[in-house]
Amino acid sequence: MFRKLTFTAAAVLAMTAVQVSAAEIETEIEDFAFSFEGPFGSFDQMQLQRGLQVYTEICASCHGLELVAFRTLHQEGGPALPEDQMRAYAEFYEVFDQSLLGGEGDFRTATPADKFPGSALSNAPDLSLMAKARAGFHGPAGTGISQFVNGMGGAEYIASLLAGYAEEPECALEGEPMDGYYNVAFAPGGFPESCIDEHGHRMVPGSWIGMPQPLYGDDVEYADGHSTELDHVSQDVSAFLMWTAEPKMMARKQAGLTGVIFLTLLSVLLYLTNKRIWAPHKKKH
């Protein structure tokens, strides 16, 4: 019994130590004002179309979206491409069909029912759920208060990451060279000992990431004439990735709002019923 208690206490202390060390990792995550945030927010159709363009021309060379079907690009609440454009976009890709060549499989032109190809590189994560998997804001002691106020933060994290590449700090140049690229929004990752002070605290935010900088600004040319500065392009592709992770977000918000309205009406009716039927009897002895 004593051994079990000792082991449990040690496990709790170890978990606490991990949480404390994770809390000491500082990053610079900017709170962007995305249109889909808040209970009444919705996706900006033009921004999603611009984000799709950025993904197609830049991100798709390494990363995939294997959980997203091409037909969803035509649905309302998303990029809402016209059907002919959606079909033409799908035909731009080739997918592997195991049923071809007598079961041996072969590549064919994609159809709207197919899904985006997976990542081209083994170390490049699929982006289908990236905006949900990454949290940009953290509350004190893991309570998530900041997430509740500012939103999930996945889109903010991705946008900050794409625009967060910077020159290596002077403290990193004093020690052994780090593998990767310095990014003020990335964590966790490799970190040089020369950038840790005598108290064990990091002297600079962020960390070193293996992915080279994908966006520099003016990487694409938008048909609607929207700005192609780095911050704007990063927000466009981040909003698109948030839609790939939450394509039914608007429907859920609408259902939630409808539920709140009905519950409010029900509460009013129950209150009036209580006043009409039961209140007079409660006063009698």
Q: Which positions ≥6 away from 125 have C-beta within 8 Å? A: 63, 119
In this prediction, residue 133 carries a pLDDT of 87
Of all residues in the chain, what percent carry a pLDDT higher than 70? Answer: 85
86 has a pLDDT exceeding 90: yes
> Distance (Å, rounded) from C-alpha 97 to C-alpha 77?
30
Residue 16 vs residue 249, higher pLDDT: 249
Residue 270 vs residue 151, higher pLDDT: 270
> Distance (Å, rounded) from C-alpha 53 to C-alpha 154?
20
In a domain, 204, yes or no: yes
Enter the pTM of the model: 0.82
Q: Which domain holds residue 190?
A: 166-212
In a domain, 191, yes or no: yes
The b/e string for 163-198 (b: 16+ C-beta within 10 A; e otherwise) is bbbbeebebbeeeeebeeebbbbbbebebbeebbee
In a domain, 48, yes or no: no
86, containing H or E segment: helix 83-90
In this prediction, residue 264 carries a pLDDT of 96
In a domain, 201, yes or no: yes
In this prediction, residue 152 carries a pLDDT of 64
Of all residues in the chain, what percent carry a pLDDT higher than 90? Answer: 53
How many separate domains does the chain show?
A: 1
Q: Which positions ≥6 away from 210 have C-beta within 8 Å? A: 123, 179, 180, 181
| Residue pLDDT, tens place only, 103-139 | 888 999 999 999 999 999 988 999 999 998 887 776 6
Count the neighbouring beta carbons within 10 Å of the beta carbon of residue 236: 27
78 has a pLDDT exceeding 50: yes
In a domain, 84, yes or no: no
284 has a pLDDT exceeding 50: yes
214 has a pLDDT exceeding 80: yes
User: Cα 63 to chain center, whole Å?
Assistant: 14
User: Cα 220 to chain center, whole Å?
Assistant: 22
| Residue pLDDT, tens place only, 135-144 | 777 665 556 6
For the four alpha carbons of 54, 241, 69 and 43, in that order, the dihedral sign comes to: negative
| Residue pLDDT, tens place only, 1-14 | 434 434 333 443 34
In a domain, 173, yes or no: yes
- Mean pLDDT (the chain, rounded): 85
22 has a pLDDT exceeding 60: no
